[in-house]
């Protein structure tokens, strides 16, 4: 496990825990209603679970060991995307960003799937956290999904704007420790583990991931930026997948 990556993630989660702890204390002092306190406690618990899940992913080398730490369960896609948007609201504010769920639930409805919930949440968290980290100010993140016709699979697409990736670099996306030249030229720190762990989680979930690079859009702080799309294809029922 890379120490720099470990401590970077620890610092980020520690800030979340500290912020939510202070918020909870303030609400207790205000004698806020019980339901508000319960919600804040659940947010704190989720932050600790995030860190625990990330440590598990970083320290266990075998996929079999990772799956022994998590049992499949049923989830609603709409609820998990809502969770993702709500969870990252505070991180988006300083950059005046937003996360948009573009799926037409009125026409096509929600979808219930059976998967490893802990790792499903983690793969979405990693992709969106990476997008927030590298996006320039005022650029949003778009999420959409569709059931793949004639199959037991769905595709989740997450589109953002990030440092432009040159043609000769694209085959290395998801390689452990790799960061594109334009990403290195930003002020954003990183160790090149984000997309690597996205690929690893997709494999754990018996799925696949594809990285799609759009055209160069504009320059920000002398760094070229372009559209970047991640497509995650997963089984709808993981126990029926061999």
In three-state secondary structure terms, 160 is strand
Rounded-to-integer distance, Cα 19 and Cα 11, Å: 12
Query: pLDDT tens digits for 51-79?
Result: 666 666 666 667 777 777 778 899 999 99
Mean pLDDT of the chain: 87
∠ CA 90-120-77, rounded to 5°:
80
Give the pLDDT confidence score for residue 220 in this predicted structure: 92
Query: pLDDT tens digits for 76-106?
Result: 999 999 999 988 888 899 899 999 999 999 9
In the predicted model, is pLDDT for residue 163 greater than 90?
Answer: yes
**Nearest by Cα to 146 from 105, 182, 116, 192:** 105
In three-state secondary structure terms, 186 is coil
Global pTM? Answer: 0.81
For residues 39 and 161, the model is more confident at 161
Give the pLDDT confidence score for residue 29 in this predicted structure: 87
Backbone angles phi, psi at 193, to 5 degrees: -105, -15
Q: Which helix (H) or strand (E) holds 208?
A: strand 208-220
Give the pLDDT confidence score for residue 174 in this predicted structure: 93
For residues 44 and 138, the model is more confident at 138
In this structure, CATH architecture of domain 64-240: 2-Layer Sandwich (3.30)
Which position has the token pair 């778009």?
142
């Amino acid at each position: 496990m890379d120490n720099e990556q470990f401590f970077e993630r620890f610092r980020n989660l520690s800030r979340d825990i500290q912020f939510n702890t202070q918020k909870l204390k303030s609400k207790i002092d205000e004698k806020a209603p019980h339901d508000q306190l319960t919600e804040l406690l659940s947010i704190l618990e989720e932050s600790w679970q995030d860190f625990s899940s990330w440590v598990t992913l970083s320290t266990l080398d075998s996929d079999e060991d990772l799956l022994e730490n998590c049992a499949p369960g049923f989830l609603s896609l709409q609820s998990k995307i809502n969770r993702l948007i709500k969870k990252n609201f505070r991180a988006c504010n300083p950059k005046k960003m937003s996360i948009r769920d573009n799926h037409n639930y009125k026409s096509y409805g929600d979808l219930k799937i059976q998967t490893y919930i802990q790792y499903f949440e983690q793969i979405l968290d990693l992709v969106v956290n990476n997008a927030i980290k590298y996006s320039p100010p005022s650029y949003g993140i778009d999420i959409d999904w569709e059931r793949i016709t004639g199959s037991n699979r769905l595709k989740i697409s997450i589109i953002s704007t990030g440092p432009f990736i040159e043609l000769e670099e694209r085959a290395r996306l998801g390689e452990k420790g790799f960061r594109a030249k334009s990403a290195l030229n930003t002020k954003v720190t990183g160790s090149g583990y984000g997309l690597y762990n996205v690929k690893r989680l997709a494999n754990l979930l018996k799925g696949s991931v594809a990285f799609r690079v759009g055209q160069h859009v504009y320059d920000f702080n002398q760094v070229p930026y372009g559209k970047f799309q991640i497509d995650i294809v997963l089984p709808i029922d993981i126990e029926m997948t061999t």
